Amino acid sequence: MIVRDIQTILKATVLHANEDLLDSEVHTACGSDMMSDVLAFVKDQSVLLTGLVNPQVVRTAEMMDMVCIVFVRGKNPDPTIVELAKERGIALLSTPYRMFTACGLLYENGLKGGCTI
């Protein structure tokens, strides 16, 4: 799956992404509003779904080598967060779906989560 597929599946608005980012291959995703959990438990995830809209989300995604952040519930970051994502080369999307639904739609379409067992 590529980021462009996520945009379509989640009926998402692209907040930031160039063509290269939209064509980035992704295989796994995670959903969390707790960045400490993302740092502690997430391994090899390509996409982060969250309802948080702050700079720590972008910094966490960068530290975890993620290529895309999807803000759920129609959340939109302020321009400073968008600029930070641009500088870090991370695609930003916003979907009207709630996190549970968004994660379920992506899973249903073949995007998996990391195994913790």
pLDDT digits (tens, 9 = 90+) for 34-80: 998 888 877 777 899 999 999 999 999 999 999 999 999 999 999 99
Other beta carbons within 10 Å of 57: 26
Q: How far apart are CA 37 and CA 17, in angstroms?
A: 26
Asked if the structure places residue 114 within a domain, the reply is no
Total count of domains within the chain: 1
Confidence of residue 114 (pLDDT cuts 50, 70, 90): low
pTM of the model: 0.93
Asked if the structure places residue 60 within a domain, the reply is yes
Q: Are 79 and 52 in contact (CB under 8 A)?
A: no
Asked if the structure places residue 117 within a domain, the reply is no
pLDDT digits (tens, 9 = 90+) for 84-100: 999 999 999 999 999 99
Closest by CA to 65, choosing from 40, 80, 48, is 48
Angle 58-59-61 from CA coordinates, rounded to 5°: 65
